[in-house]
């Protein structure tokens, strides 16, 4: 796929800005996404090529603007809904419940 993820040689992406002593995870949600990837992968729901392809299918602007583990989140949501394990409606309903609970 010749999508925007094919970044080698592109101009204009700005400075690298490495973070000193960077932690492995920057947020608790990143830990959970990482673990969910490993668990759903180990559960045989998809292989790594399907996972990368799901990321490559993100909207290009969204891909460039979102953080790394957000790519993983999008891919897990995509693959687990596409294979019928869960539905988008179940996700949005649960998001709404959790948002109400947190309010």
For another protein, the binding residues (CB under 8 A) are 5-11, 13-19, 22, 24-29, 31-36, 38-40, 43, 45, 48-49, 52, 55, 57-59, 61-62, 64, 66-68, 70, 73-74, 76-77, 80, 85-86, 90-92, 94-95, 98-99, 102
- Residue 70 contacts by C-beta under 8 Å, 6 or more apart in sequence? none
The owner of tokens 């294979």 is: 83
DSSP H helical ranges for the chain: 28-42, 48-56, 60-65, 68-82, 88-102
CB of 99 to another protein, least distance (A): 6
Q: How far is the CB of 54 from another protein (least distance, A)?
A: 11
d(C-alpha 86, C-alpha 34), whole Å: 19
Cα distance between residue 12 and residue 60, in whole Å: 15
Q: How far is the CB of 28 from another protein (least distance, A)?
A: 8
CB of 44 to another protein, least distance (A): 11
């Amino acid at each position: 796929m010749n999508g925007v993820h094919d970044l080698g040689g592109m101009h204009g992406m700005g400075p690298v800005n490495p973070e000193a002593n960077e932690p492995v995870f920057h947020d608790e949600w990143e830990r959970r996404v990482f673990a969910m990837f490993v668990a759903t992968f180990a559960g045989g729901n998809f292989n790594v090529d399907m996972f990368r392809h799901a990321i490559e299918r993100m909207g290009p602007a969204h891909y460039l603007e979102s953080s790394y583990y957000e790519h993983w989140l999008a891919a897990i949501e995509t693959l687990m809904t596409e294979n019928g394990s869960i539905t988008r409606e179940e996700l949005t309903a649960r998001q709404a419940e959790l948002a109400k609970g947190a309010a």
